[in-house]
Amino acid sequence: MTNLTADPPKPHTPRTSPDNENTLLGRVFEAVFFDNDGTLVDSTNAVNRSWLSWAEEAGLGASFRGASHGVPARQMLATLIPADQIDDAVIRLTQIELADTMGITILPGAGPLLASIPEHRRAIVSSATRELCLARLAAAGVPTPATIITIEDTGRGKPFPEPFLEAAARLGFDPARCLVVEDAPAGLEAARAAGCATIGVEGTHDAADLDADLVVASLDKLRIVLQHNGVKFELLPE
């Protein structure tokens, strides 16, 4: 694990004008980092079922209002239960999540987009554990990239920048020349703090909640154009 730390994310003004969108789409990126849940695979129902099941066992009742998508489980559990119960809760929640992969599917456009990027220029960066990330990729039928960064690889998870800094370090690229594709505000916040450009994908959250350089309705709206020094993104015509 690379020991990388940074200050908490700072406020950001989204760049959504056509000129800025064109600037992003015209740029060459050395690497692309994809979130998994909600970006490559639709696991929302499984996530919600698992958290509700855990909350019922834990006796939280009506005080539990659902999982915060894109945030590591340990960080969310720390807001719900005493510190001395967190380790056991993580173990139990993971057991429940690993047992429930029903209905997890690959999202539109995710397969072709991921496959079109050379292996040494792509990574998955997930807030889940490695075992859970791999289980959901397998359930959805997503081919597994060689580089996967999970909560076990960094000291802090999203919304802090360490996961994306770790991915850039593993692949050997400057984070400022990398692009992050995310569906959750916490992930986009982490990407910006790491210095990466961002594409937000609607679904788990509405477009208005996604503070990104470009927001798309789904990954099938994008295509990759290979360059000798990286990749470019293009919007497909409607």
pLDDT value for 10:
42
Neighbours of 170 (CB within 10 A): 16
pLDDT tens for 81-99 read 899 999 999 999 999 999 9
pLDDT tens for 182-221 read 999 999 999 999 999 999 999 999 999 999 999 999 999 9
Query: At which residue do the structure tokens 């908490």 appear?
Result: 8
Structurally, the chain folds into a number of domains equal to: 2
Best CA proximity match to 171, nearest among 116, 120, 126, 125: 120
In this structure, are 22 and 69 located in the same domain?
Answer: no
Residues of the chain with pLDDT under 70: 1-22, 67-69
pLDDT value for 133:
96
Distance from C-alpha of 20 to C-alpha of 28, rounded to nearest angstrom: 14
In this structure, are 137 and 223 located in the same domain?
Answer: yes
In this structure, are 181 and 73 located in the same domain?
Answer: no
Contact 101, 37 (CB under 8 A): no
In this structure, are 130 and 215 located in the same domain?
Answer: yes
In this structure, are 163 and 59 located in the same domain?
Answer: no
In this structure, are 124 and 216 located in the same domain?
Answer: yes
In this structure, are 135 and 95 located in the same domain?
Answer: no
In this structure, are 220 and 121 located in the same domain?
Answer: yes
Annotated catalytic sites, by residue? 35, 37
3-state secondary structure of 181: strand
The answer to whether residue 3 sits within a structural domain is no
Best CA proximity match to 125, nearest among 67, 198, 74: 198
Rg of the chain over all Cα atoms, to the nearest angstrom? 17
Antiparallel, parallel or unpaired: β 222-227 and 230-235: antiparallel
In this structure, are 183 and 90 located in the same domain?
Answer: no
Among 99, 114, 132, the domain boundary falls at 99
In this structure, are 53 and 151 located in the same domain?
Answer: no
pLDDT value for 208:
95
Q: Please state the pTM of the whole predicted model.
A: 0.86
- The gap from C-alpha 232 to its chain's centroid, in whole angstroms, comes to 20
**Domain that residue 195 falls in:** 18-42+105-235
Distance from C-alpha of 145 to C-alpha of 189, rounded to nearest angstrom: 24
pLDDT value for 94:
92
> Which residues are CB-contacts of 179 (< 8 A; sequence separation ≥ 6)?
29, 31, 32, 33, 196, 197, 198, 199, 233
Among 99, 118, 136, the domain boundary falls at 99
Neighbours of 58 (CB within 10 A): 17
Beta strands in the chain (DSSP E): 31-34, 41-42, 105-106, 122-125, 148-149, 178-182, 197-201, 214-216, 222-227, 230-235
| Buried b / exposed e along 86-119 (16+ C-beta atoms within 10 A) | beebbeebbebbeebbeebebbebbbebbeebee
